[in-house]
Every structure is written in C-alpha cells, then in structure tokens.
Structure 1
C-alpha cells in the first residue's frame, strides 16, 4: 500500500533532512484535510529552517521540493485548478482495509544501511539474529536503516542513564550488552536480517531490491503504547524507552 521512494534519492545521512521532515509533518497536521501549495510550503520551510534562499534549501534536499514531496510515500500530491502542485498527508485507510505485510532485507554490506525505511506508526522492526525488536510507538519515522539503529542505541543509553541507581546492575549490563551488539551491526562485520512487520502495510523501503515481501504473520498482534517505544531482546523487555 505504500509506494517506494524510488525516483528521487532521499539522503537521510544528515540531520537537516530529519528536521525538514519533522517540520513538514507538523505543517500538514495543522491542516490535515487542506491541500497546501508546494511553492508556499517550500517557502515556509525555507524560512522556518533558516536557509538563506530557495537555492540553499533545495541544495539540502539534493533536488527540488516538488521531487521531494512526490518521493514521500505518506504524502499525496496533485495539480489543482490553478495548475499548481499541491500536497497533503495521506489519510490512513480504515483498519478493515489494512493489508498487513512482512518485509525482510538481508544486510550484507554498509551500503544496505543507507537505504531509507519509511516505518509507519503501526510497524515493528525485528533483527532476528539478536532477538531484538523495536515496537510501534504511534509515530511515523522516515530514516536510513543506519539512523534507525543509532536511534535505538541512543534510546537504550538514555534509558540506562535516566534510571540511574534505581536499575538493577545485572539488568543494566544486559541492556549495555545489547547496545554493544547494535553498534557492531553498523560495521556489518557479518550479515544480518532487517524485518519489518506492518499490520497496515504502509511501510516501504526507498529501494525494494532484494526485499522479500509476504503477508504478515497472523500470530503477531499490533499494540501501540502511549508515547513509548518498547525494545525487546533475548534477555527480556525494556519498557518506556521513548523514541527520538
């Protein structure tokens, strides 16, 4: 149900892109049913993000704002009666129309980690080699696989730091061991598997090459904790680890 981000190269290797996406999301959510002119949206984002002019803004995007919009799987565009490109956030389909899917990608070298995953707010990510899972947290996240892993590392570290002396030492050691394993994945010293379970079917990769798709496992049920991301590994469950 999500369309691949294919024609336009989305570069999530720098924080500017993440900030632009966050601001675009907020802009659309303020008027969810209103079509916004692409030119007006671009100028607002350019000013809001502190770029000197549109040339600098589009340099950060590595292309035009129009191409950027049309590459986003959660954004719909059209040409209006004034012959302008306009956009708005797609509404999620009713739950009875969801087509759950499972997507598996074998990571074999560092270049695979720079694929962009548009992870819907309903999807969970699993790394079976670690028995590690990042659950749905109710927020859409578009980022490279590398940055998805870095976010999990950061969240776990913050969880340990915020718990302080209140966390049992054995539990802390297990979490930090998990952090170490996640960090080692960034070097891709050996292949591992990235599995997305999405009951809505809205998640997609920027490049679907070698991505295996199948219906979502029926035994997996989706639950979304309020404002929290739950990370599960073979040692147990760490709860209330907020997403970045």
Structure 2
C-alpha cells in the first residue's frame, strides 16, 4: 500500500484533462509567457506575470465562454492549476499574485539526471511529468521507451502513456499494407501491455533520463533523483 499522505496529495494535485486539451493549454500558456518576456532583441525584462490577467487572456484564447467554464475545465482556479505544473513558481506582491515559468538553463549549465518513480497505485498516474525536449522515458519492465522528440511535454503520466498507446495503434492502422504481420503483432502486444500498466495491478517503474536535468515530476515525493 502507498503512503496515504502522498495519495491524498496526488488526488489534490490531479489534473483531469485530456492529452489534447492539456497540450493546447500548456502550449498557449507558454506562448503568452514568451510574448511578454521575450522580444526581437532578447529578454524583455519582464520576469513575472499577473495570474488573474493571464487567466483571462488564456481563457479567451482557448475559446472558453467565461471564467466559470474555464475553471470547471481546470477543476479549480487558474492559480491552483499553476501550482500543479512543474517549473512554475508564484509569488504575492501588494495583494496580487504573479507567476513565473522557470527558464531552461544554457547548455553549459546542464546537469544530466535520472528521475525514477515506482508507480504503486493509480493515484501515481496523475503525477504531472514535464518531459524536456531532450529527455527520454523508459519503462524497464516492458523494455519500452518514449524517445526525445525535441519538444517539451507536460502531462500526467497516464496521458503520456495513453498518447503512446494511441500513436502506436494509429501507426499500425495506417501501415497495414506495408507493415510485416509479425511486426504489427509485436507492436499491438506492446499496446496491450501498456494498457495493463494503466491498471497498476502491480508496481512498475517510470524512469526519465534527461541530459539537461530540466525534466520534473510533480508532486516529487517518492521520486528518486540521481545525477548521472
């Protein structure tokens, strides 16, 4: 059995959004952040943005009718949603709340890390994993890997795996005419095994290998971090 305190924290920080909506939301949030903090000449000098103002801008850009609908989709306030995201920090100043997205360090400051989490219950699947553009994820029990693809992905572990299931299944479906039958069978066996992992019938391991050291799991309780 897992630690009940950690389980409660995981339930509290759970983000119940589809992969597509989470990707859309995080991408738009980072676009807004970049629009304010970076200009043609480099950093604009703006280091913090107001939570309430950006919530309104994000709601409008994403097409939600009003703040109530937006917060219903988020499962709470925008400020609470920011608390659940890795590499986002908040501060209060003169009665207003501001946030900052921690920038990626320059390459000469990278520190290669390995993050290891033993998934012991379905609650662990709702941890948010920031997979940096340089990171790969390994599930050693299946000898399965999600490769680095040059893009940052911020999503629950559940959605990371569900997207892999979708991608593999879609690849087999779209390649039926050219894919050798034994290859298709092996891929679909992997899909089935990944789906079994989502039931967490027994513990399994989620390992993030990141040469930049900027990947993160949140909440971080129970995550083993090694510099490699």
Q: TM-score, normalised by structure 2?
A: 0.79
The correspondence of residues 1-244 of structure 1 with structure 2, limited to 5 A, is 9-15=12-18, 16-33=21-38, 34=44, 35=46, 36-75=49-88, 85-87=97-99, 89-216=101-228
Unaligned runs of 5+ in 1: 1-5, 217-244
Q: Which has the higher helix share?
A: 2
Structure 2 distance, partners of 1:96, 1:108, is 36
Name the count of aligned residue pairs.
Answer: 210
Q: Deviations over 1:178-215 (max 9, x none)?
A: 11111111111222111111111111111222211212
Contact 1:115–1:206 (CA<8 Å) still a contact in 2? yes
Is the partner of 1:93 in helix, strand or coil? Answer: coil
Name the CA shift for 1:77/1:41 in 2 (closer, same or farther; >3 Å). same
Match of residue 236 from structure 1: none
Residues in 2 aligned to 1:213 and 1:139: alpha-carbon distance in whole angstroms: 22
Judge conservation of contact 2:119–2:205 (CA < 8 Å) in 1.
Answer: yes
Specify whether residues 42 and 123 from structure 1 end up closer, same or farther in structure 2 by C-alpha distance, changes over 3 A only: same
Structure 2, unmatched stretches of 5+, are 1-8, 39-43
TM-score (norm: length of structure 1): 0.75
